[in-house]
Amino acid sequence: MKNILEAPFITEMRKTTANMYRLGWDERNGGNISCLLDGYDVGEYLDANQIVREIPIGFEAKPLVGKIFIVTGTGKYFKNVDSDPETNLGIIRIAPDGRTAQLLWGYKDGGKFTSELPAHLMSHMARLAVDPENRVVMHCHPTYTLAMNYVHELEEKKFTHSLWEMCTECIVVFPDGVGVLPWMLCGTNEIGQATAEKMKEFRLVVWGMHGIYGAGKTMDETFGLIETVEKAAQIYMLTAHLPRVNTIKDSELRELAESFGVKYRKDFLRL
């Protein structure tokens, strides 16, 4: 059995959480990540028959039975993941009843997965139905994206359009746009269900006055989606109070999307 601390999926989580903390996206214990793992890869590092303990999930995730995830822990600080992954991360498998997580590794201090695991698993189910290659769900609190929530109408067509106008790359990186939810109580099945519903058509969902959810095939793709939104939101906030002299026209946004061959939300343009 190989050393699990040298596993690529552990290394990836350590680097990603450290980078997100460095950027200020995940203050204190704000933010969480879950990643669907390949059972064969995990088998090189863990005996899947050795269950440390079982933890109730809080809802039924039958479509995910038998699937294995690496998940950040509840109350854990991203800044501590790199130095102590076994305390701050856990590897879980969804039990046959669909309502229980079997802990295979991690949370060594007796902790458990993020309180927003239901939202993650619901989003995984929604995205897997759209894209069977989806693996990652990432939640964080990017500063400028959050600031933009307070000065911009929280309507997804308008919010997406403003972001697309800020950087030439935006419509190419997230041509499917950004879903938007109003403020809702976090850590509940209700916000998880609302997020999953949005995830059927968006890979990015803004939680009003809270943060953002992103989903993707890889950690880099998911991180890059959020990173691009945050850069656009930063430009928006730096220029929102100034007279607009130039902008990317909708005809130019269409030209961009069609030149790069991406499937974009035509209904989000004013043509």
Catalytic machinery residues:
116
How far is C-alpha 255 from the chain's CA centre?
Answer: 29
**Helices 117-130 and 189-199 meet at what angle, rounded to 10?**
20
Nearest residue to 139 via CA among 35, 211, 57 = 211
Residue with tokens 């059927």: 200
Contact (CB, 8 A) for 255 and 166: no
Q: What is the CA radius of gyration of the chain?
A: 19
CA dist 38 → 42, 135, 139 (Å) = 6, 10, 22
Diameter of the chain measured on Cα atoms = 63
CA distances, 58 to each of 118, 212, 245 (Å): 7, 22, 51
